[in-house]
């Protein structure tokens, strides 16, 4: 099995070092494997997609705009309470 080297922020590294009982390489391996499987599924789904890049960008904008509006309304409700 191939090996990789990871860089961690100092605060995370301190936590990892403090818990040597945890098999960190196994946790990292599983996380990478799960993410890779999700990407492979996404690749398979979109392999024959007829959606253009511009359509994806427009949809992305609409989704983010909706999320922004949701949190604006939520914040507004909080300030009125």
Tens of pLDDT, residues 8-64: 999 999 999 999 999 999 999 999 999 999 999 999 988 888 888 899 999 999 999
Q: Which of 21, 28, 23 is nearest to 7 (CA)?
A: 28
* Full-model pTM: 0.58
Give the C-alpha separation, 76 to 81, whole Å.
9
Give the C-alpha separation, 75 to 21, whole Å.
42
Do both 54 and 43 map to the same domain?
no
Is 54 in contact with 32 (CB distance < 8 Å)?
no
In sequence order, which residues have a C-beta less than 8 Å from that of residue 65 and are 6 or more positions away? none
Give the C-alpha separation, 20 to 25, whole Å.
11
Do both 18 and 45 map to the same domain?
yes
Domain count across the chain: 2
Do both 13 and 40 map to the same domain?
yes
């Amino acid at each position: 099995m191939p090996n990789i080297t990871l860089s961690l922020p100092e605060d995370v590294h301190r936590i990892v070092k403090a818990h040597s009982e945890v098999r960190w390489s196994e946790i990292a391996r599983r996380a990478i494997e799960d993410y890779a499987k999700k990407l492979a599924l996404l690749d398979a789904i979109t392999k024959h997609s007829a959606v253009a890049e511009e359509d994806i960008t427009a949809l992305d904008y609409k989704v983010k705009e909706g999320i922004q509006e949701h949190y604006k309304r939520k914040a507004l409700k909080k300030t009125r309470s």
